[in-house]
Chains A and B, each alone.
Chain A
Amino acid sequence: MDTSSQRDTYAEISSDSRLKKAWMIFRGYPIIPAAIVVLIVTCAIFAPFIARHDPLIGDLRDQDRPPFWQAESPISGKEGLAKYPLGTDPLGRDILSRIIWGARYSMIIASVVIVAGAVGGTFLGMIAGYFGGLPDEMLMRLVDLTLGVPFILVALATVVVFGSSVTLIITLLILFSWSGFARQVRAETLSLRTTDYVAQAKIAGASSARIITRHILPGVTSTVMVVASLNIGQLILTEATLSFLGVGIPKPRPAWGSMVADGRDYIGTSYWMALFPGLAIFLVVFAFNFLGDWIRDRLDPRLRQL
């Protein structure tokens, strides 16, 4: 016979276990990193609507404001305002708005480079792996080259010659990002080439182009996805590094890397200028790295050593 208090206990237990069940399902998914990525992508797409202030033109009356929780800035003597949650720089520009706009540059560059690198690298990797011989040998030496020359130094040398621009940075990053794809896709193609279904397609009279697009390409897609998701964090980091060195996205555009560089000059007085943009880079890279690991474990655990 149930008393009411007993029934309550039962209800509590069952709702408790439902929570537990939900937790068990959720625990297998990288919720926090996914949330960070969604947040940043949203910022990138809707920057003009989310950012409350102009990223380029500041209000000089509000220069050197500390973050909103801080009472007084040691340099300007001004207190933090809710209007500028993460403070302002010496030109009175809102740090948060600049970070939100910076997300846009960072994401555009990362996505363009990853897509171009993946398409180019996959294509070349399949050609090299399928045909072998001279094209393969040439391609592998080019891959060696992109791995052997230090990217940042080559980027610096290129900027000496051409001057820095967004187009140059994107081009350079693409030229150095295809090789990771090409190497893995080539290895994958080498083993797919010897499968029975490829041999049978050949006997049935399929052309090389058809075999590559219809029989090899579907087999390498998961590898390509894994390499892409593992590389994107490093890519964002590299772009930020170039911008920090002053050879990436030209000023006054708000790039996270150059914002940290600006903040370095004011580190003794306005710590928030360097802290928050750097934190944004860290969170995004962390999130993408984590998701990359997760996707790899799901799609292709053999690529563990990457």
Chain B
Amino acid sequence: MKIFILRRFAAAIVVLFLASILVFALSRASGDPRNLFLSEYTTQEQWDQWGRDYGLDKPYWQQYLTWFKGAVVLDFGTSVKEQIPATTVVARKIWPTLQLAIGAYVFAIFVGVPLGVLSATRRGTTTDLAARSFALLGQAMPGFWLGIMLILLFAVKWQILPAGGKGNLTSLILPSITLGWFAAAALLRLTRSAMLDVLDSEYVKLARAKGVSRTMIVWKHAFRNAATVPLTFAGLFLTALLTGAVVTETVFAWPGLGRLAVQAVFGTDFPVISAIVMLATSGYLLMNLFVDILYGVLDPRIRHS
């Protein structure tokens, strides 16, 4: 078990290292990195000072080390737009994005899992068809379009929910559905196939033969064994979520990381976008590591493979 965790951990570190090289290479790819890191109001003195600080006259590997030393203590430079550390700018946006993520995850679980169970227990019925159509929609609809259509219906036409911004809890509803539908669809499909497998197993047949009630069989015998699905899914969900957050936050003017990333592009704020990329990558790796370990604890077969 220890070796398993160590191996996973080492692999994650390697990926994080490669990602840092990628971000560093990007910062040097367009010639003078000062164009990316300093604003147009920089004085000549500050300009030269930056060059000295980051060793622009030295070879790339030394420049990388300088950058890396900063990155380790979360120093990605000063935000071009706000003139405060990029990490501070990014940190302020983490909580709104997390709220949105929680909202989306709640939607995905409370819609995806029950629909998956229903669809499996009533296989071939209209309920099954409806549930699977829901999944089909979720996997093919572009998130940005779904968001705009929800705004069109609920905010413009019926005027019952806000079209954007971050206010009270009602402002969280439409963004959560937009971001969560894709995940709900995937969760539904996974739950459905897991349930179908379990419902076909010997012990469920035995329970049926003993005369255990249908509700008991579905929820106690079958569902508890199919419930590892959301767990496996948590790690996968996070990348889809980070991608989706960029889009969802842009559509709903939600003040989170995704919107900040898009704004950083149009404000050519490289320190901010590089901080977001590194943060998102670390978050994803950490989450995956956690899920891998949890999975290894639960399922001995994985540990030894």
Contact = CB atoms under 8 A, between A and B. Distances in A.
A151 interface: yes
B11 A267 contact: no
Contacts of A151: 243
A275 B247 contact: no
Contacts of B246: 152-153, 156, 245
Interface in B262-295: 262, 264-266, 268-270, 273-274, 276-277, 280-281, 284-285, 288
A160 B268 contact: yes
A148 B142 contact: no
A300 B212 CA distance: 38
Contacts of A267: 148, 151-152, 156
Nearest to B16: A148
Contacts of A113: none
Contact of A282 (B23, B141, B265): B141
B18 A289 contact: no
B144 A244 contact: yes
A305 B290 CA distance: 21
B133 to A, nearest CB: 11
Interface string A234-250: 00010011001111000
Given A160-B264, A289-B139, A153 B148 contact: no
Which residue, of B15, B250, B270, has the highest number of chain A Cβ atoms within 10 A? B15
A290 B281 CA distance: 31
B268 to A, nearest CB: 5
A216 B129 CA distance: 41
Contact of B142 (A145, A147, A158, A237): A237
B242 interface: yes
B145 A282 contact: yes
Nearest to A286: B140
Contacts of A244: 142, 144, 247, 250
A149 interface: yes
Given A149-B22, A150-B281, A152-B246, A161 B30 contact: yes
Given A161-B30, A161-B36, A247-B265, A150 B277 contact: yes
Nearest to A287: B140
B63 interface: no
Contacts, number: 146
Contacts of B243: 150-153, 241
Given A161-B29, A162-B29, A286-B140, A246 B270 contact: no
Contact of A241 (B139, B144, B152, B239): B144
Interface stretch (A91-99, A206-214, A258-266): A258-266
B136 interface: yes
B72 interface: no
A156 B264 contact: yes
Contacts of A271: 152, 156
A92 to B, nearest CB: 22
Interface in B174-210: none
A148 B283 CA distance: 10
A142 interface: yes
Contacts of A147: 239
B265 A278 contact: no
- Scoring A149, A153, A274 by chain B CB atoms within 10 A of each residue's CB, the highest score goes to A153
29 contacts: A141-B11, A141-B15, A144-B14, A145-B15, A148-B19, A148-B288, A149-B19, A149-B281, A150-B277, A150-B281, A153-B276, A153-B280, A154-B277, A157-B270, A157-B273, A162-B29, A241-B143, A244-B247, A246-B266, A264-B144, A267-B148, A267-B152, A268-B156, A271-B152, A274-B145, A274-B149, A278-B148, A282-B141, A285-B142
Given A144-B11, A147-B239, A156-B273, 14 more contacts: A145-B19, A149-B19, A149-B22, A154-B22, A156-B262, A159-B265, A260-B144, A260-B145, A263-B148, A267-B151, A271-B152, A278-B149, A285-B140, A289-B140
Interface of A: 141-142, 144-145, 147-154, 156-162, 233, 237, 240-241, 244-247, 257, 260-261, 263-264, 267-268, 271, 274-275, 278-279, 281-282, 285-286, 289-290
